[in-house]
Amino acid sequence: MTEDRELRRSAMRAVTLSDGEVLFRRGDPGDAFYIIEQGQIRIVTYDAADQEIALNLLGAGESFGELALVDGQPRWRVRSRSGSANCFACDGKPF
Q: Where are the domains of the chain?
A: 3-90
pLDDT at 20: 83
Q: pLDDT class for 92, splitting at 50, 70, 90?
A: low
pTM: 0.78
pLDDT at 26: 84
Structural contact between residues 8 and 91, judged by C-beta atoms closer than 8 angstroms? no
Question: Which one is the CATH code of 3-90: 3.40.50.2000, 2.60.120.10, 3.30.465.10, 3.40.440.10?
Answer: 2.60.120.10
Higher pLDDT, 95 or 66: 66
**What are the φ and ψ backbone dihedral angles of 60, each rounded to 5 degrees?**
-50, 135
Beta bridge partners of 44: 54, 78
